[in-house]
Amino acid sequence: MQMSPENQQVLEDCCPSIELWFAQSELQQLVVKAARGAGYCWSDAEEIGWAAAWLSKFGLPGGDFMLSLMQSNDLQAPRPATRCWKGNNHPLCPLRCGLALMDFAQLPEGLGASSLVIESVMGLPCLLPFAARTARQIQHPLQIQWEEQSLFLNQDAQPSLEINQVSMEFGKTVDVRITRSNSNMVSIETKNPQYCVGVSKQILEQLEAFAHQTLVPASDLSRLRAGGHDDPTS
């Protein structure tokens, strides 16, 4: 990504701890490869990459959040059931919950009902992009509630307020209620999306370590094909 020297200096002055800057699309593709290396199928990895870019667009460290979840071994996938999703005595993974939310968007186990409670979700911010995409998918605004707070997501996958201003501790476990909202109640404010994403060298190296697991180990055959001498009839 090309940046003017003036803009680069402004970014460095504002965020001195940030060492590298990416376009949203560059971060997205990096996280896609990292998620695949972490064990997600390609289709799920594509959604996770999009979610990281969505969070970063609204001021949250999407790459950092996704890396933290890829490194977590004690988070569970939900057990979809009508009106309430639970786990087995462990916090639920927001990525697995978000992917399931899109899969069950129109079904009774999902938002085919008027509302859905997902219990014990850790990393709430990472659930929001999938809820936003679900709102777009079903073409209906959604209200997200946890503790004493809430926000709305409209059919264009836009939040009703700046999500980086909402109190949602990443490491905290909360119960989340997702409700189909009356569109007349939703007021979407003007956003100031961020198109440059700052990533530290440490986070970049860890994401790349996951991404490298998608590479095929070198062999005589792979070297032969890389040189363009492969016989398609063999």
Same-domain check for residues 150 and 133: yes
Q: What are phi and psi of 228, to 5 degrees?
A: 80, 20
Same-domain check for residues 60 and 104: no
- Is residue 119 scored above 70 in pLDDT? yes
d(CA 136, CA 145): 18
pLDDT digits (tens, 9 = 90+) for 164-183: 666 667 888 999 999 998 76
pLDDT over 90, % of the chain = 52
Domain tally, the chain: 2
Q: Which helix (H) or strand (E) holds 22?
A: strand 20-23
d(CA 187, CA 61): 25
d(CA 142, CA 139): 10
User: Is residue 232 one of the residues assigned to a domain?
Assistant: no
69, two tokens = 């979840």
The position carrying tokens 């079904």 is 107
Q: CATH number of the domain at 19, please.
A: 1.10.1530
Do 22 and 42 meet the contact criterion of CB atoms below 8 Å apart?
Answer: no
Same-domain check for residues 59 and 81: no
Q: Which residue range is the domain that position 160 belongs to? A: 75-187
pLDDT at 160: 76
Same-domain check for residues 94 and 81: yes
User: Is residue 56 one of the residues assigned to a domain?
Assistant: yes
What average pLDDT score do residues 100-121 get? 90
Q: Average model confidence (pLDDT) for the chain?
A: 82
27, two tokens = 């971060």
Query: pLDDT tier at 9 (50, 70, 90 boundaries)?
Result: very low
pLDDT at 7: 42
pLDDT digits (tens, 9 = 90+) for 179-234: 998 766 556 665 677 788 889 999 999 999 999 988 766 556 555 554 444 444 44
